[in-house]
């Protein structure tokens, strides 16, 4: 089991469930100072328990002003950030027969714009850490669905693909500043969010195993942290196939349209 070296000031969003909860537990147990963010204060308090190295920082990442205030609070308390892990997000599947623009906007709000809100608040603190001699790291949870279009994943996959593209581009621009960016592309992980899925989830792993893979990747400063690798390598391969072949493979995953009832 890999531990993050040193003692770091960390901001973790989406901390109370699934991968975020597993990461929070590990980071706190390792002794890092961790600002825990999620929308529910009671859930944050239950997670933190009596740990003195936990800071409760409830926030809805889709609320730009609230996130900015959270960043100011972190600045007042720590004056820096060594590691930011933006993990908050949601998933809803789009039925093209009943196109729902509100659904698309609900998914993009935390998955894409929420990360940008947090990034806007965190960058000054990451720069302060760099000025003090640290090599700060920013990480965000995307998805293996960002690698390839999949049926019903138009909203979710697009939000994650947009996030991956944005941060890969930003990573180039921040390189000379000494701020690293790691993108996290999980496959299927056993979480309360994935428990709502109504389709098979091959090679699904536990949230604890996901946290292990993420922390190992962060310690190694991997550009792309993806797991389980047997699954994600296959998805990545599908994503680089010629469009016609990729389309044919994707059609095999489309569910048959239910027959309309006869009058």
Residues annotated as part of the active site: 156
Residues 6+ apart with CB under 8 A from 96: 152, 154
Reported residue count of the chain is 263
DSSP code for 104 = H
Q: Are 30 and 50 contacting, i.e. CB atoms less than 8 angstroms apart? A: no
Query: How far from chain centre, in Å, is Cα 157?
Result: 13
* Torsion, Cα of 109, 147, 15, 227 (10° steps): 170
Question: CA angle, 185 as apex, 125 and 175 as ends, to 5°?
Answer: 40
Question: CA angle, 22 as apex, 17 and 26 as ends, to 5°?
Answer: 145
How many Cβ atoms sit within 10 Å of the Cβ of residue 73? 15
- Residue 239 CA to residue 111 CA, distance in Å, equals 21
- Residue 190 CA to residue 197 CA, distance in Å, equals 10
- Residue 19 CA to residue 114 CA, distance in Å, equals 17
**For tokens 């972190």, what's the residue?**
74
* Torsion, Cα of 120, 125, 130, 135 (10° steps): -80
Q: Are 35 and 84 contacting, i.e. CB atoms less than 8 angstroms apart? A: no
């Amino acid at each position: 089991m890999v531990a993050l070296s040193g003692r770091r000031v960390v901001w973790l969003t989406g901390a109370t469930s699934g991968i975020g909860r597993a990461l929070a537990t590990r980071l706190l147990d390792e002794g890092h100072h961790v600002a825990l963010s999620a929308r529910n204060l009671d859930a944050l308090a239950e997670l933190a328990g009596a740990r003195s190295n936990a800071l409760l920082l409830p926030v809805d990442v889709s609320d730009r002003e609230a996130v900015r205030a959270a960043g100011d609070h972190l600045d007042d308390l720590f004056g820096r950030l060594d590691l930011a892990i933006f993990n908050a997000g949601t998933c809803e599947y789009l039925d093209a027969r009943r196109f729902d623009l509100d659904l698309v906007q609900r998914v993009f709000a935390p998955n894409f714009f929420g990360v940008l809100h947090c990034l806007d608040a965190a960058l000054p603190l990451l720069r302060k850490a760099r000025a003090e001699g640290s090599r700060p790291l920013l990480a965000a949870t995307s998805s293996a669905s960002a690698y390839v279009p999949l049926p019903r994943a138009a909203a979710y996959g697009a939000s994650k693909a947009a996030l991956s593209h944005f941060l890969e581009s930003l990573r180039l621009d921040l390189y000379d500043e000494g701020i690293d960016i790691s993108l996290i592309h999980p496959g299927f992980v056993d979480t309360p969010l994935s428990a709502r899925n109504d389709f098979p989830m091959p090679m699904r792993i536990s949230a604890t195993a996901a946290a292990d893979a993420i922390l190992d990747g962060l310690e190694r400063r991997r550009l792309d942290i993806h797991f389980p690798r047997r699954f994600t390598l296959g998805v990545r391969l599908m994503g680089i196939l010629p469009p016609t072949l990729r389309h044919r493979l994707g059609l095999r995953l489309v569910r048959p349209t239910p027959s309309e009832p006869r009058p």
